[in-house]
Every structure is written in C-alpha cells, then in structure tokens.
Amino acid sequence: MVQMPGTSSGFFDYCHCAFHNRDRYERWQNIDLKAIATEEILGSEAKSFVISEESLSVPDRKIPEKLEFLKNLGQAKIVMCVRRQDKFLQSLYLQFIKENGRKISQTFQEFIKDPKIVKLATFDETLDFWAGVFGKENIIVLDFDILKERQNFISSMVQIFGVVPNFEFAEVRQNQSISYEKAEIIRRFSQMYPRVNRHRLTHALNKLNLDQNLERYEPPQVSRIASHYRASNERLRERYGVDLLAYGSPMDMRMNRKANLSENIQFEKSINRIFMRLVKDAHQGGNWDFI
C-alpha cells in the first residue's frame, strides 16, 4: 500500500485547499491540482495509490468533480466507511472537542443541531456525488462497526486495494475516544480559559486513574438521531447495499430512555469528581502545562 509521496508539499496538501477554494497560504494559490497529481502518480513505480483525507467525505459535489481526472490515470475505486449516525455523531463530537483548532464550545445537543454537522451524516447524498462522477460500480461502502466488531478493518482495506501485505498489523489503539464527562470538562475549561491547550488537557484527563464506571453518561438526544436519518439510511441500503440499522446494538434499548433530574445530577457529580482529581494531580505534580 503506497500513500501519496511528498505529504509536506505534495498532492495531499494541495488537494485539501483546492477542494474548498482556500487560499490560506500563498504557495497554495493558483495550484494546478491535475498536474501535481498526474506527475506524482505517473512518476511513481507504485501500482496502487491510496488517497485518504477526511475532507473527501464532505458532502460537496465539487470534490469528486475536481478529482474526475483520476479516471484517466488508472482504475479508480471509491471506498467509504459509514457508521450509524448516532454513533458517528457522538464520535465526531468527542473528537472535535479535543482539537485545538476547532475551538468547539457547543454542547452535544447544540452540536447535532448545527446544519453543517447534520449534513455530514447524510451518507447517501455524499456517495451519490461520487457515483455520479466515478460510476456506482466503482463505489465500495463499508459499515465501520461491522469491521470493528470483526477486528479486520485494515485487512479488509488491503484486500480491496489488491495488496498482499508482508507485515503484521500492530494491535495498537491511537487517539482513543473520551467520555462525555471528560468532554464536558474540556468544554467548560476552554470557556473559562480560551487559550487552554485541549490536547494537553485531554492527555492529563486520560492519565487519571479513574473508576470507569463513573463515566457512563450518554446524552438523551442520542436516541433520536437514528430516526432522523431513517430516510437517508433507506436510500443508502437500496442504492449501496449497506443497512446501518441492521447491525445489532443497544440502540433499541435506548429509544425510550428519558432524561431525568437524578441522571443529570449524577453526571454533574461525575464531572466534579474527575475535575477535582485533575486539579489534585496537577497540583501534586506541579504540571499545569494544559493552561
């Protein structure tokens, strides 16, 4: 498996800004995306190229249209992993809240009402854009949670790419998710201290030796997410053969769950316990580098 070379100044960097017509840096202005990609691909001895970038999954028809020229450089396959929207949006929120550049101050309830966020989870629309350019026969859709359950995510990918790996897959988890309790601490802390380093604060929170049973809160809004995307998921199943609602999970058990005062109080207590432990450890270690 070969990634695009020159990631510091090559196709990856250029394409990200070209997709969205961004001119944040002078060296990205007036860039000929097609020429750069053609030179890098045709000039390489590699048989397979993997172009992987989060921005490719944005529901914007301009993205596949700008990459249509790739069809002239070889066989192009579009591989997209999708996830049931309640899990996807939770994961997205808990990831975004950790990132310094995003400066998210929204609660989860506010986050899932953001029109831009809502649109990110309409997977059928995004896939239709790509199918319209590259052909439906070249679209491969995978259910992330099924791959995760089977623990064969990477092996599935290399099979799709037609690569015979001569190495072992390391069982290492990177960028692990955080709980809602920790996410809320980050959110509130960043409101009081806008310049807080969210990465360092997340690291400090993850270092705490805590009882995992204290971190079990789930926003009541989660139970309503899947139903909001029902029509989109039906189109996804009909057009691309992936049924997100068929995968077994505790979703149905949560559908009638309602927020109540005792649950909210318990959530606040958990936040306070974690926060006080964070302050205690920072004071004892003399390490407040996340502020």
| Residue 160 binned pLDDT confidence (cut-offs 50, 70, 90) | confident
Q: Which two tokens mark 41?
A: 């691909």
pLDDT of residue 272: 86
* CATH of region 9-179+217-255, choose from 2.40.50, 3.10.400, 3.40.50, 3.30.70: 3.40.50
pLDDT of residue 240: 95
pLDDT of residue 20: 46
pTM value is: 0.80
pLDDT digits (tens, 9 = 90+) for 17-55: 444 444 444 555 567 778 888 888 888 887 778 888 778
pLDDT of residue 170: 64
pLDDT of residue 198: 92
pLDDT of residue 130: 96
| Residue 291 binned pLDDT confidence (cut-offs 50, 70, 90) | low
pLDDT digits (tens, 9 = 90+) for 119-148: 999 999 999 999 999 999 999 999 988 888
**From 76-85, 161-170, 249-258, 279-288, the region with the lowest mean pLDDT:** 249-258
Q: Cα(first)–Cα(last) distance of the chain, in Å? A: 40
Q: What is the mean pLDDT of residues 148-158?
A: 75
Instruction: Find the Cα–Cα–Cα–Cα dihedral 139, 146, 119, 231, rounded to 10°.
Output: 90
Contact (CB, 8 A) for 186 and 73: no
Q: Domain ranges in the chain? A: 9-179+217-255, 180-216+256-285
pLDDT of 4 strictly over 70: no
Q: Which two tokens mark 70?
A: 């790739």
pLDDT digits (tens, 9 = 90+) for 49-104: 888 877 888 899 988 998 899 988 888 899 999 999 999 999 999 999 999 888 88
pLDDT of residue 173: 62
pLDDT of residue 37: 80
pLDDT digits (tens, 9 = 90+) for 181-238: 899 999 998 888 888 899 999 988 888 877 766 677 888 888 889 889 999 999 999 9
pLDDT of residue 183: 92
